[in-house]
Amino acid sequence: MQPLLLLLLTCTNQVLGQNPAIKVILANKGLQYGSHVGTDWLHEKILSMNVPDVTGGVKVGVGTVRYVLDRMSVSQCDVPEPSVNFSEGNQVKTVINGLSIALRGNWHTKFSFMSDRGSFELAVFNLDLTSLVELGSDDKGHLSILSKTCSAGIGKAEINFHGGASWIFKPFVKFFKNRVKALIETQICPIVDEHIADVEQHLTNMQVSYRINCALVLEIPLINPPHINSSDLGLDLKGEFYNFESPKEPPFKALAFDLPRADGFMLSLGMSEFSFNSAAYAYYAAGQLHITVTDKMIPPTSPLRLNTSSFGPFIPQLPKFFPNMLMELEVYARETPMFSFLPDEMSLKVPGAIKAVAIQPNGTRAPLFKLNADGLFSGQVYISEGKLRGLMKLKNFTLTLESSEIGTFQTAALENGMKMAMTIAVLTPLNAKLKEGIPLPSIHDILLVNSVLKIQQGFVSIASDLEVSSPLRGHFEEGFVCPYKTSGAYL
Ligand SMILES: *[C@@H]1O[C@H](CO)[C@@H](O)[C@H](O)[C@H]1NC(C)=O
Ligand SMILES: *[C@@H]1O[C@H](CO)[C@@H](O)[C@H](O)[C@H]1NC(C)=O
Ligand SMILES: *[C@@H]1O[C@H](CO)[C@@H](O)[C@H](O)[C@H]1NC(C)=O
Ligand SMILES: *[C@@H]1O[C@H](CO)[C@@H](O)[C@H](O)[C@H]1NC(C)=O
Ligand SMILES: *[C@@H]1O[C@H](CO)[C@@H](O)[C@H](O)[C@H]1NC(C)=O
């Protein structure tokens, strides 16, 4: 029964399996940078290491000399660059050869009623450490890390005693040396394992869902286990946006895409059309792609006002039926706006609609007409000087009369007027912002540097190097002050 169930579950999983919408590849160069950052961390950790006291006794002819080595602290350490490699079986192998540590401490001896004390220095040379960890994923889509093997060995130790009747120790030096050497040898791997367990705990507690803004949540659990080969580590993330208040699955699916490895960079990141479109859907399905345009919102300098007289040249009968009245336009998306990515070009298709009403002197809104407004925006985006930049243009815009309470009219002139209005109101400020550049986000104090963005067939790729700005700590929570929402517009 159980194997059958397991098989069934495995199969179902595969049938339902969603394609990742975000892929991340950490190249060997990235691993080397990570290990470099880790070396500094290890250096700090060893310097602040707690060394337990050593107690024992040495049998001499007429009794036992009891000794205690205490108050030991690391006074110096030299951590050479480790060799870190991706290896078979989703593993990462770290080898450190030639680590040295200098310790300082006090000694106390007791033999019968005689006691003595002093200080000592201990140097450990050529400590070799080999650690093998395995990466995987848990059922919630967290990355997981497990220490598979760890071994440590010490090449040579030197010890010097000061104070007291130090000469008495001369015969025991060799003995202490081996005792302390063995002690340190047995301490290293538990420290390493403890750290790996810490990292695992941190990964387990990590969010796989991030609030992006007031409206959006991004879900990024792993949807496949990580895959490692000799040159890189690949992660497949869900990469789907949901509406914070009313999460719903969109009526379209993530398509598979192949993220090419960018040579010479630490990291490659790919985000498919689906990811962008799920964000658009999250706004759309929650009714948040919706805005009511009133005359007050039109800049005072605009010659065209939102009133029936001003619309006379476009719709001659309008001022006759509704003379000199203010108008309101309800502008909304008829369907989900969809992004599509072609080599070096992105486009956004917006199926919109405009409902116009006249505001009568007694305040009653009279419906006038409904237009379908289909816009196609296209443009280029790229990263330069660490900022996202680009240029968008309106490629096509058509207005068609869907229904009218005031009889039919030609839309061509209105279409031109709206094209101009859209360029002034939307594209000009957007392009100004894209020209100035939008700073790239940093994630957990990791900055993307030397980044290259490329629009490819069906996805956007970013090849980048990384820079850790400060020690890695798990803080990402940011406070949002979301406006209390009465109508559904976040445009
Ligand atoms: C492991 O990585 C080091 C660089 O850190 C490299 O010199 C060495 O050849 C690699 N070993 C294997 C087995 O790939
Ligand atoms: C590692 O795997 C990827 C596919 O996941 C492949 O493109 C790449 O060539 C592989 N590298 C090696 C050295 O096998
Ligand atoms: C309508 O707009 C015209 C300018 O096109 C302006 O002169 C007129 O005062 C406006 N009427 C109302 C009622 O706002
Ligand atoms: C407002 O005025 C219009 C036209 O003058 C009229 O048809 C409508 O019934 C009025 N509405 C109310 C609530 O008085
Ligand atoms: C603009 O879009 C309309 C449909 O919305 C289409 O008929 C027309 O061919 C398009 N024009 C261009 C130049 O793409």
Residue 166 has a pLDDT of 63
**Closest ligand to residue 364's CA:** 4
Q: What is d(CA 40, CA 63) in angstroms, rounded to the nearest whole number?
A: 47
Amino acid in the structure at residue 258: D
Q: What contacts 130, CB < 8 A, 6 or more positions away?
A: 93, 94, 95, 96, 149, 150, 151, 152
Q: What is d(CA 394, CA 85) in angstroms, rounded to the nearest whole number?
A: 49
pLDDT above 50 (res 10): no
CATH number of the domain located at residue range(s) 3-8+28-205 in this protein: 3.15.10.10
Q: Which of 103, 44, 53, 99 is nearest to 73 (CA)?
A: 103
- C-alpha angle with apex 116: 113 to 121, nearest 5 degrees? 150
Residue 386 has a pLDDT of 86
Helix (H) or strand (E) holding 87, with range, is strand 83-87
The secondary structure of residue 420, as a DSSP letter, is H
pLDDT band at 172 (very low <50, low <70, confident <90, very high): low
Given a contact cutoff of 8 angstroms between Cβ atoms, the answer to whether 345 and 460 are in contact is no
Domain coordinates in residue numbering, the chain: 3-8+28-205, 239-468
| 365 touches ligand 4 (CB under 6 Å) | no
| 364 touches ligand 4 (CB under 6 Å) | yes
pLDDT above 50 (res 278): yes
Q: 3-state class of 110 per DSSP?
A: strand
Residue 405 has a pLDDT of 96
Residue 432 has a pLDDT of 95
Phi, psi at residue 103, to the nearest 5°? -120, 150
Residue 480 has a pLDDT of 58
Residue in 295, 307, 318 to alter for ligand 3 test, most ligand atoms within 8 A of Cβ: 307
Q: 3-state class of 273 per DSSP?
A: helix
pLDDT band at 471 (very low <50, low <70, confident <90, very high): low
Residue 58 has a pLDDT of 75
pLDDT band at 484 (very low <50, low <70, confident <90, very high): low
Higher pLDDT among residues 100 and 195, named by residue: 100
pLDDT band at 137 (very low <50, low <70, confident <90, very high): very high
Q: pLDDT (tens digit, 9 = 90+) per residue, 283-300?
A: 999 999 999 999 999 888
Q: What residue has token string 């990515």? A: 341
Q: pLDDT (tens digit, 9 = 90+) per residue, 183-224?
A: 778 888 988 898 899 989 999 999 899 998 889 999 999 999
**Closest ligand to residue 325's CA:** 3
Phi-psi region of 90 (alpha: psi -120 to 50; beta: other; left: phi over 0): left
Lowest mean pLDDT among 92-96, 178-182, 230-234: 178-182
Q: What is d(CA 284, CA 190) in angstroms, rounded to the nearest whole number?
A: 53
pLDDT band at 173 (very low <50, low <70, confident <90, very high): low
Contacts of residues 102-106 at CB distance under 8 Å and 24 or more positions apart, as own/partner, are: 102/74, 102/75, 102/76, 102/77, 103/51, 103/72, 103/73, 103/74, 103/75, 103/180, 104/72, 104/73, 104/75, 105/51, 105/69, 105/70, 105/71, 105/72, 105/73, 106/69, 106/70, 106/71
pLDDT band at 470 (very low <50, low <70, confident <90, very high): low
Lowest mean pLDDT among 54-63, 81-90, 111-120, 430-439: 54-63
Count CA atoms within 13 Å of residue 219 on its CB side.
19
Residue in 325, 360, 365, 406 to alter for ligand 4 test, most ligand atoms within 8 A of Cβ: 360
Task: Name the pTM for this structure.
Answer: 0.83
Q: What is d(CA 131, CA 151) in angstroms, rounded to the nearest whole number?
A: 7
Residue 55 has a pLDDT of 83
pLDDT above 90 (res 437): yes
Given a contact cutoff of 8 angstroms between Cβ atoms, the answer to whether 69 and 91 are in contact is no
Q: What is d(CA 259, CA 279) in angstroms, rounded to the nearest whole number?
A: 21
Q: Which residues of 227-252 are buried (b: 16+ CB within 10 A; e: fewer)?
A: ebeeebbbbbbbbbbbbbeeeeebee
**Which burial class, exposed, middle or buried, applies to 391 when counting CB atoms under 10 A from its CB (0-12, 13-18, 19+)?**
middle
pLDDT above 60 (res 115): yes
pLDDT band at 406 (very low <50, low <70, confident <90, very high): very high
Distance 231 CA to ligand 2 centre (A): 7
Residue in 294, 302, 310, 328 to alter for ligand 3 test, most ligand atoms within 8 A of Cβ: 310
Residue 193 has a pLDDT of 92
Q: What is d(CA 347, CA 273) in angstroms, rounded to the nearest whole number?
A: 10
Amino acid in the structure at residue 33: Y
Average pLDDT of the residues in 102-112: 87
Q: What contacts 265, CB < 8 A, 6 or more positions away?
A: 27, 29, 30, 450, 452, 463, 464, 465
**Which burial class, exposed, middle or buried, applies to 187 when counting CB atoms under 10 A from its CB (0-12, 13-18, 19+)?**
middle
Cα separations (Å) of 119 from 47, 55, 104, 161, 310? Answer: 19, 15, 8, 6, 95
Distance 226 CA to ligand 4 centre (A): 67
Residue 489 has a pLDDT of 41
- Nearest-CA residue for ligand 4 atom 7 is 364
Residue 168 has a pLDDT of 65
Average pLDDT of the residues in 308-326: 94
- Nearest-CA residue for ligand 5 atom 3 is 398
Q: Which of 163, 160, 198, 162 is nearest to 180 (CA)?
A: 160
Given a contact cutoff of 8 angstroms between Cβ atoms, the answer to whether 249 and 281 are in contact is no
Average pLDDT of the residues in 307-314: 94
| 294 touches ligand 3 (CB under 6 Å) | no
Residue 1 has a pLDDT of 34
Distance 369 CA to ligand 5 centre (A): 22
Under CATH, to which class is 239-468 assigned?
alpha beta
Distance 350 CA to ligand 4 centre (A): 36
